[in-house]
Amino acid sequence: MTSATVLIDAERVPALSTQLGRHCQVDGELEDGRVQVHVSAPVLVMIAQHPAGWGAAVEVVEPESSAPSSPEWGQSSSSATPLTRSE
């Protein structure tokens, strides 16, 4: 299993939780209204597969290898993803 910590708009958490089930754990809500969520999946591309199309509503916090700009991501997915990586 591979995992990542993401920040996501609070209203999108139920959808992500429904799609990932036990592989989606809410870590807490931030002051800006986003929620920190720990997600896991058998392969890297599956982490981004569910929230695809949500644009800036999802931000990868860690690990860096789960961010779409990493070399591993390029090898895992031939299409662009709207996920952004935290700076």
| CATH classification at residue 26 | 3.30.70
Number of domains in the chain: 1
Q: Residue 78 belongs to what domain range?
A: 2-85
- What confidence tens digit (pLDDT) does each residue in 61-86 have? 886 555 554 444 434 444 434 444 44
Query: Residue 80: CB partners within 8 Å, gap ≥ 6?
Result: 68
Say which residue the tokens 């931030």 belong to: 30
As a dihedral over the C-alpha atoms of residue 77, residue 82, residue 85, residue 86, rounded to 10 degrees, the angle is -160
- Dump pLDDT digits (tens) for 13-49: 998 899 889 999 999 999 999 999 999 988 877 776 7
